[in-house]
C-alpha cells in the first residue's frame, strides 16, 4: 500500500496509472492532490545563500544525481575524453525530461531567480560603479540595452523591474524556467556570465496558439481549474509531446559569454545543467507594437493587469516627438486605440444610459460658463 504524502490516503501500487513496481524513495502525491494544489503548486521561497554556499549545494546535488561520472574510470562505457565530474549534456537533458515525465518521483532543487540587479549587483559594469569603463555604456550591456535609440522603453515613465532593469539568475542542476512568453510579448535578451550550460527550448510566436492548444490538451484538468495557468510559470511539457501535436520547437545550449534573444510572443522554457550565473532584461522596437496590442487584449481576456499602459505609451511617444504621427506603424497603433476607445465608450453608455445624459449636461454647463465669460 502506497500512502500519499499530501492527503494520507492509501493506494494499491498496481492500480495506479501507470502502475508502480516499487515504493518511491521521495515524497509521492496522488492525482487528486496534484490537481488540487492550485496556486500553491510550483515554487516556494528557499533559503538565503552566498554564491559560494549555493555552489556547494549545487555541486553536491549534481554529484549525487550523476555519481558515476565523479568516479575516476578508465574502462567501461564511461571511458572517453570527458574528465571526472564532467557529465555529458545529453545525459543531463535525458534525466531531466525523465523526471518531468515521471509523476511518482519528487526532486527538489533551488533557483536564485528574479533577483534585482540594483539590489544584488549586475554582472555588467555600470556608470555608477565604473564610469570610466568603456563597457559601462556599451549597447550590449544589459543595463543600457533597453534604452538604446530605437527602443520604445524610452517612453515608459516608470521603472519596471525585470523588464527595464535587469534581473539576475543563479542556477543549479535541474533548476527550471517553465513555459512562458514575456510580459507584453516583448523581446528578451539573456546573457550567461559564467557557469554550466543553460538548455533552452523555444516555440516561434506564430505557433503560440498551437502551443497553447497542445498544453490544454495535455493537462485539461489543470487548465479547467486555472484557465490562466500559463501566466504562472509552473507548467512544463516535453518538446516531444509538442512536436507530435504539430508545434515547431527549437533548442539551444547557452554557455558562458553567449546571448540568447527571444522574439515577441515566442514561448520558451529550459533548465540549468549545473551552477551558473545569468542576467536578463527586455526591450521593445517598433516592430513589436502589434504584439503589444495582442498582449493587452489577452490581459483583458484573463482579467489580468498589464505591466504598463499601452495607450499611455502611445500618447507619451506622440507628445515627445511629432514624427511618430507620420510613421505608418504608429498610425496603425493609434487608429486601433481610437477604435477600441470608442467601442468601450459605446458599450459603457449602453450599460448605463444615464451616463451619456450626464456627460451632455456637463458639456452644456461648461459651454454656459464660457459664454458668461
pLDDT digits (tens, 9 = 90+) for 107-158: 899 998 888 888 888 999 999 899 899 999 999 999 999 999 999 999 998 8
- 30 plus 59 within the same structural domain: no
- 11 plus 84 within the same structural domain: no
Number of structural domains the chain divides into: 3
- 59 plus 29 within the same structural domain: no
- 251 plus 350 within the same structural domain: no
- 55 plus 149 within the same structural domain: yes
Cα distances (Å, whole numbers) of residue 47 to 50, 57, 111, 176, 205: 10, 11, 10, 17, 36
- State the pLDDT confidence band at 370, using cuts at 50, 70 and 90: very low
Tell whether the model's pLDDT for residue 304 goes beyond 50. Answer: yes
Tell whether the model's pLDDT for residue 38 goes beyond 70. Answer: no
- 59 plus 17 within the same structural domain: no
- 213 plus 361 within the same structural domain: no
Residue 298 domain-assigned?
Answer: no
Of the CA atoms within 13 Å of residue 256, those in its CB half-sphere come to: 9
- 10 plus 136 within the same structural domain: no
> What average pLDDT score do residues 47-64 get?
94
- 242 plus 337 within the same structural domain: no
> How are beta strands 259-262 and 167-171 bridged, if at all?
unpaired
Higher local confidence (pLDDT), 366 or 335:
335
- 269 plus 184 within the same structural domain: yes
Residue 233 domain-assigned?
Answer: yes
Residue 276 domain-assigned?
Answer: yes
- 30 plus 95 within the same structural domain: no
Residue 305 domain-assigned?
Answer: no
Alpha-carbon gap, residue 264 to 270, rounded angstroms: 17
Residue after which a domain boundary falls, among 238, 273, 289 = 289
Is residue 307 within 8 A of residue 159, CB to CB? The reply is: no
Report the CATH number that the domain containing residue 3 is assigned in CATH: 3.30.40.10
Query: What radius of gyration, in Å, describes the C-alpha atoms of the chain?
Result: 26
Is residue 282 within 8 A of residue 228, CB to CB? The reply is: no
Question: What residues make up the domain containing 262?
Answer: 49-289
- State the pLDDT confidence band at 74, using cuts at 50, 70 and 90: very low
Residue after which a domain boundary falls, among 289, 312, 345 = 289
- State the pLDDT confidence band at 86, using cuts at 50, 70 and 90: confident
- 144 plus 257 within the same structural domain: yes
pLDDT value of residue 159: 85
Residue 202 domain-assigned?
Answer: yes
Report the CATH number that the domain containing residue 222 is assigned in CATH: 2.60.120.650
Residue 296 domain-assigned?
Answer: no
Question: Model's pTM, two decimal places?
Answer: 0.81
Tell whether the model's pLDDT for residue 258 goes beyond 60. Answer: yes
* Mean pLDDT, the chain, integer: 86
Amino acid at each position: 500500500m502506497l500512502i500519499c504524502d499530501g492527503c494520507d490516503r492509501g493506494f494499491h501500487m498496481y492500480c495506479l496509472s501507470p502502475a508502480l513496481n516499487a515504493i518511491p524513495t521521495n515524497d509521492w502525491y496522488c492525482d487528486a492532490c496534484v490537481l488540487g494544489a492550485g496556486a500553491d503548486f510550483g515554487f516556494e521561497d528557499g533559503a538565503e545563500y552566498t554564491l559560494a554556499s549555493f555552489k556547494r549545494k549545487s555541486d553536491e546535488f549534481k554529484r549525487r544525481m550523476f555519481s558515476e561520472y565523479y568516479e575516476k574510470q578508465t574502462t567501461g562505457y564511461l571511458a572517453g575524453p570527458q574528465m571526472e565530474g564532467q557529465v555529458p549534456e545529453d545525459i543531463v537533458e535525458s534525466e531531466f525530461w525523465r523526471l518531468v515525465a515521471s509523476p511518482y518521483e519528487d526532486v527538489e532543487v533551488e533557483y536564485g531567480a528574479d533577483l534585482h540587479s540594483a539590489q544584488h549587483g549586475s554582472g555588467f559594469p555600470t556608470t555608477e560603479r565604473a564610469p570610466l569603463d568603456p563597457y559601462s555604456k556599451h549597447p550590449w550591456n544589459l543595463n543600457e540595452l533597453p534604452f538604446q535609440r530605437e527602443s520604445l522603453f524610452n517612453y515608459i515613465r516608470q521603472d519596471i523591474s525585470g523588464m527595464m532593469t535587469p534581473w539576475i539568475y543563479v542556477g543549479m542542476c535541474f533548476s527550471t524556467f517553465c513555459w512562458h512568453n514575456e510580459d507584453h510579448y516583448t523581446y528578451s535578451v539573456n546573457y550567461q556570465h559564467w557557469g554550466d550550460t543553460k538548455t533552452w527550448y523555444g516555440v516561434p510566436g506564430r505557433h503560440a496558439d498551437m502551443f497553447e492548444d497542445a498544453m490544454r490538451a495535455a493537462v485539461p484538468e489543470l487548465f479547467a481549474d486555472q484557465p490562466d495557468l500559463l501566466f504562472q510559470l509552473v507548467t512544463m511539457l516535453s518538446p516531444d509531446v509538442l512536436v507530435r501535436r504539430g508545434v515547431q520547437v527549437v533548442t539551444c545550449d547557452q554557455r558562458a559569454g553567449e546571448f540568447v534573444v527571444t522574439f515577441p510572443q515566442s514561448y520558451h522554457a529550459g533548465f540549468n545543467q549545473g551552477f551558473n550565473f545569468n542576467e536578463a532584461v527586455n526591450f521593445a522596437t517598433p516592430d513589436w507594437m502589434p504584439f503589444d496590442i495582442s498582449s493587452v487584449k489577452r490581459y483583458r481576456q484573463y482579467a489580468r493587469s498589464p505591466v504598463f499602459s499601452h495607450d499611455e505609451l502611445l500618447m507619451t511617444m506622440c507628445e515627445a516627438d511629432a514624427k511618430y504621427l507620420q510613421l505608418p506603424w504608429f498610425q496603425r497603433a493609434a487608429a486601433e486605440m481610437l477604435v477600441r476607445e470608442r467601442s468601450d465608450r459605446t458599450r459603457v453608455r449602453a450599460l448605463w444610459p444615464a451616463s451619456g445624459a450626464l456627460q451632455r449636461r456637463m458639456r452644456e454647463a461648461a459651454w454656459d460658463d464660457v459664454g458668461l465669460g
